[in-house]
Structure 1
């Protein structure tokens, strides 16, 4: 069992890596760079993570676990399927805007020269789409929505939300627009796509 000190060191390594990864990209990230910023030896980093890819995969997994916990709570507490769909979309968008580093690592990191993300972790990450897909299927059974292919439609919703979050994070949307109004309008449009 890890001690409090070991947990603190591991947490520091992850936090520093998250910042460096977003600033410098995966190609320019090295264990030596991380160790200098953390203030430890390279060997200490290898004690916690077998290589750079394992470290990045831990950050991806951590980000997805945060997002999944938020979305699962919404899924369990919203019984009206249309309101649940909207709330799940809000969760996703707000997660991206409040956690831009995690969001970038989870969804915008170019995985060139990186080991493939482990299949079991990828399946777990897909749970966010499954929550949306299950909500769409349930809303269709209730005749609230008309969705022929819930899983494919969940991907369509994801692309819509990802585009919005990415553009907001990159500050590519006209600053004169009301950001919250834009988000609210986007969520309403998502719900209308399947009526």
Structure 2
């Protein structure tokens, strides 16, 4: 038997494929909505990924133009007390303003604390006060974790040391707030 010409064989292949597709048509009709939804979701997710990638690149570009907060207001840490979180987030801050000492009293307290300690040794200036010897090298989160365990006198000593040397606003604020929290408790 001689082989049939190529166009006839191609035509037969097309007919066989059409018959197979016709048999699968009921299944494909049922699966079509699921397939369409799946493909739409995939396209949506790809678009979201692209948008997110662009936002990240934009954040990096803008990050070079503006300074980053040392600690965003929404950030919380596991080692914080609930009272500290509430006070920092402002829920109690308004209530505390009426009970806080007047600015003159705060200045007097700091001046008294500065006058009370002895003159610092040379290594004290570099490393920190005796209360927390490694204080000078601590970051804000590290300091926050240690403040809960200090007494009011130790906190005042740290505040005096900070105001006499570095006078870094975030550290002064954190120490002042902690002193207020401990004295009001």
TM range (shorter): under 0.3
Report the TM-score, using the length of structure 2 for normalisation.
0.19
Which of the pair is proportionally richer in helix?
1
TM-score by length of 1: 0.18
- Specify which structure has the bigger relative contact order, considering alpha-carbon pairs within 8 angstroms and separated by 6 or more residues: 1
Larger Rg: 2
